[in-house]
Structure 1
């Protein structure tokens, strides 16, 4: 097994310089001037009453006065991150902290909260112990949770830090509840110390979620790397099949870059009623899915798509990344125009990986591509916000949608997935089938992650893409990425001999453009499409539709509008804030499209060859 050079270096540093290492060899020193002891940080995590939803944290700082300037300042500032990488929203984790205290040698020292996420400890002592509690009752991939059944830790929302100590090795000691036996995490276990783990720095700790309880596990090896799957929740599944399919997905994903950067990998899977998605980490991921994820073939394939997405992030985002995505500022937004690449192109790859692994037929893959295009072209916001703007505004719009979001925004996931498909096709066509998107990923991985050990700028990414494609990609970057103008899909699909066809029915039915929710027989408007009859003539979100042309409306709004023609006028009676209003509405043309990718008539030999390479047809 080829070990990662960076990890070996970090482990070597830990072995020889960690104050916890029993095998450390002291250098020869002058007895009259001994070297200063190295600083260390240890977290002790416990959950003595899990039913109360509280974790207890003890943070032990040793030999920290000098590096933290504690002796000079007379105090130490301890902080809690306000967000977690991979989820681009300020989450204010400090809101769940209580009972912050500090002590030296068992004696309390003064402390005070100086900012929303920072506590000042008034001490210049070398050794300091901090205690606090974290309320954890939100089970998502980006928050903390503990109850009588299990505990889950998102480290950014659990562990505090000092700026001057972020880059030193850290240790985490987990003290599971008395009846719990299992801990799953990507952190490195400390030999001979049960439930004890180490991280080379705070960034690695933040990137290593922890599952604690009595979850079931199974394991497999993919690309010569051991993988562990920790399964929480009562769920029926075929372990033999699931293990084999995890392996297929992981090995297909590894073919993109051609090198696996991990020495081990951990999947934490929560089976909970609503599901919930996933969050990527350095050598692990947390997935949330429903308890019927394996019940049908359709559900099963959707779950494998989630597995492929989060797994591929260990390359795209965790190693192949824009400059803004690491090292991180945990107190402020980290802006980038390239989430369409980091997240959206990972969405592109999730299905492309399943295609090459044999889970999708070529026809099924084409159907998924067409559906993705249909999705973005049916959203009015795609003509308002570019993929680059969507990426930049993730912090204020992406995670905070409202009733008008569909009119003004486009998801960097969905638009980015389409852009990934188009960039792949552009590279295929530009290189006459010699290269595809994989070659771009390999170049970025080798040049920036391995050689330069940093992320890339927007311009560097464009230069790399054009270099791999063998031509300028002005239309892709100017129109596709940086504007909200319509994309010329024909230019991308024609070289592979397929065409994008709108197969939406040419019905003459008029279009209202108001989405509604029905509660207790009352139909209330929940969204109004920009440019539609409802939008133009003044129906509002929150209006309760009482009747149309004098006929009472309950849960049959669509039936009442169905069959009406473009230009037909309706008298809509609504209850708006307790007042009745009659609003005349003139129905418009239905703007919705439904795309399908179809083969062109009489494709050339060159088109057939590119088509075969595009879809991995053998």
Structure 2
């Protein structure tokens, strides 16, 4: 991590954002730098954004970069993929102008059209190399008709269109929404909360305020304090939307515009809000040691995303349950969703959990047709690991402690006292402190190893067990999934060790007929048995082919979590501690 040099101490940096061609998806940036004493300045664009672990090459969207001393152009040439070498020619100030193309809808990328401008800071603002601690001011000239700015950056004076960033780490962790968003707020846990609803939606504002306030206070209880003064939810409502990205004092959520009116849709939105808001502690402050200070030029590797994301994935639904919005049955069904996802992914037996975290940069955000066979989600499996550890701690401490206590202790010890991230071993020691025992075996089996999860043991602590609704069935299967939302049966995934895998049916093959009859995925295997040999007529790369395939047993599971017949007093106590409301 580069630190500010003495020459940088006097740099004054300001940006002006304008949208003269919003209809063509551009933001224009003017960067004013003064107080220059050095012969050159290298200006850099981050290649990734914190919270989304993929090198996205944001510089690819930058065009027409020029540098000026007043009305005189000065040299500004690109020296690598994300760096421009600016020669001020002795001038103490320069103005750098460039345009950024913004047309990727996601919570982590900028998007501009005539309706609104969403500025993802890491992909918009250049910074002087080695000067990440420099402050800057951003002035926004809105497109015609836009009248609001929503960001966690502080206003300069009383001008909502001028904001200040104390350093680049905070700037890159503070997205900016400009437009006509519906802005409302509430106070919770001593913090002022703002909600910026963009692009419409059938939400009930008063209900949202009430439930988001409860959510904030319930999560704050876990950690013992809310470290913000102000926090902003930026919500992009699309015809069909999803996803979220956490920031230090804000979050960006993607939502479905007309889904708020159904209970399922409303609960999904609150679950997403609970997840991203939980990150203001877990990841943004309580963090793996590799995740900050950041190197914006390359990958920042950690084996602990199963804690950073998996634990957050666990607590989001648990918090919704604690609010009384999920019944115990609903909560357990949601938890079972993660269990089924893991157990039906062949990659669960291939990729250990720590490796899934480490390889997020090349695997998780770049899924392929073979991802299910070679990798496991650190979100889902991390969530199940959190459940196991929570139940282990409750059991071993005789209901005195839970995973809540670990999170509060680690937040206090590492963020507040030591003021740094934790190592793998330090988080393990935090878990052991409350479990009251060594967790080497747990880590060996479930974090570094590929052992099958002992659900009977962990759920049994709470008087629960898994039931597989498919147990005892001996149904044949091709071991494939098909491409959704098209009329033709085209293979999307071939599952490891299934019939298609063994006998050579491929992804992108179109299945035309089975034993001479037109193929119907819903009915074509009715009456067939495990071990039957079938003839498939397919089209591969435009050419007809015939394949002979031996049908194998469908190994997919469909678990439910149910109560055992006669739980003991101890099991009832663990259940009560775990699923308290």
TM-score by length of 1: 0.90
1:112 to 57, 77, 90: 77
**Matched residue, 1:571:** 535
CA contact (8 A) 1:59 1:129 kept: yes
Cα distance in 1 for partners of 2:381, 2:391 equals 15
CA contact (8 A) 1:189 1:198 kept: yes
- The SS at the match of 2:159 is coil
Cα distance in 2 for partners of 1:364, 1:39 equals 55
- The SS at the match of 1:559 is coil
- The SS at the match of 1:113 is strand
1:303, distance to aligned residue in structure 2 (A) = 0.7
Cα distance in 1 for partners of 2:142, 2:262 equals 35
Which protein shows a greater Rg? 1
460-469 or 146-155: which moved more? Answer: 460-469
1:366, distance to aligned residue in structure 2 (A) = 1.6
CA contact (8 A) 1:543 1:575 kept: yes
1:136, distance to aligned residue in structure 2 (A) = 0.8
2:117 to 133, 151, 155: 151
Distance 1:199 1:136, change over 3 A: same
**Matched residue, 1:318:** 284
Tell me the alpha carbon deviations over residues 489-535 of structure 1, each in whole angstroms, 9 at most, x when there is no partner.
22212222212222225333211112223787532211111111111
CA contact (8 A) 2:114 2:143 kept: no
CA contact (8 A) 2:8 2:134 kept: no
**Matched residue, 1:121:** 86
Cα distance in 2 for partners of 1:298, 1:193 equals 40
Cα distance in 2 for partners of 1:48, 1:425 equals 56
Instruction: Map 1:586-601 to 2 at 5 A.
Output: 586-601=550-565
Cα distance in 1 for partners of 2:449, 2:435 equals 21
**Matched residue, 1:11:** none
1:327, distance to aligned residue in structure 2 (A) = 0.7
**Matched residue, 2:3:** none
CA contact (8 A) 1:509 1:563 kept: no
Tell me the alpha carbon deviations over residues 104-127 of structure 1, each in whole angstroms, 9 at most, x when there is no partner.
233211111000100001124332
CA contact (8 A) 1:490 1:500 kept: yes
Instruction: Map 1:441-452 to 2 at 5 A.
Output: 441-452=407-418
Cα distance in 2 for partners of 1:563, 1:250 equals 54
Tell me the alpha carbon deviations over residues 125-151 of structure 1, each in whole angstroms, 9 at most, x when there is no partner.
332221111111112111111111110
Do structure 1's residue 531 and structure 2's residue 503 form an aligned pair?
no
**Matched residue, 1:87:** 52
Do structure 1's residue 333 and structure 2's residue 299 form an aligned pair?
yes
**Matched residue, 2:13:** 41
Cα distance in 2 for partners of 1:288, 1:256 equals 26
1:334, distance to aligned residue in structure 2 (A) = 0.5
1:431, distance to aligned residue in structure 2 (A) = 1.2
1:485, distance to aligned residue in structure 2 (A) = 2.1
Do structure 1's residue 412 and structure 2's residue 378 form an aligned pair?
yes
Do structure 1's residue 386 and structure 2's residue 352 form an aligned pair?
yes
CA contact (8 A) 1:275 1:288 kept: yes
**Matched residue, 1:58:** 30
**Matched residue, 1:5:** none
Cα distance in 2 for partners of 1:280, 1:561 equals 45
Do structure 1's residue 421 and structure 2's residue 387 form an aligned pair?
yes
1:465, distance to aligned residue in structure 2 (A) = 1.0
Cα distance in 1 for partners of 2:485, 2:421 equals 49
Cα distance in 2 for partners of 1:101, 1:278 equals 34
CA contact (8 A) 2:202 2:259 kept: no
Distance 1:518 1:309, change over 3 A: closer
Tell me the alpha carbon deviations over residues 541-576 of structure 1, each in whole angstroms, 9 at most, x when there is no partner.
1212121111122xx123111231111111111222
**Matched residue, 1:506:** 472
Tell me the alpha carbon deviations over residues 580-599 of structure 1, each in whole angstroms, 9 at most, x when there is no partner.
32211111111011112222
1:289 to 243, 255, 263: 255
Do structure 1's residue 356 and structure 2's residue 328 form an aligned pair?
no
Cα distance in 1 for partners of 2:309, 2:297 equals 22
1:602, distance to aligned residue in structure 2 (A) = 2.3
1:351, distance to aligned residue in structure 2 (A) = 0.4
- Alignment RMSD: 1.6
- The SS at the match of 2:575 is helix
**Matched residue, 1:78:** 43
Cα distance in 2 for partners of 1:562, 1:355 equals 40
2:573 to 590, 609, 612: 609
**Matched residue, 2:4:** none
Distance 1:203 1:520, change over 3 A: closer
Do structure 1's residue 102 and structure 2's residue 67 form an aligned pair?
yes
1:39, distance to aligned residue in structure 2 (A) = 2.1
Do structure 1's residue 197 and structure 2's residue 149 form an aligned pair?
no
Distance 1:248 1:114, change over 3 A: same
Tell me the alpha carbon deviations over residues 345-404 of structure 1, each in whole angstroms, 9 at most, x when there is no partner.
101010011111111112221222222111100111100011111111111110111111
1:36, distance to aligned residue in structure 2 (A) = 11
CA contact (8 A) 1:509 1:562 kept: no
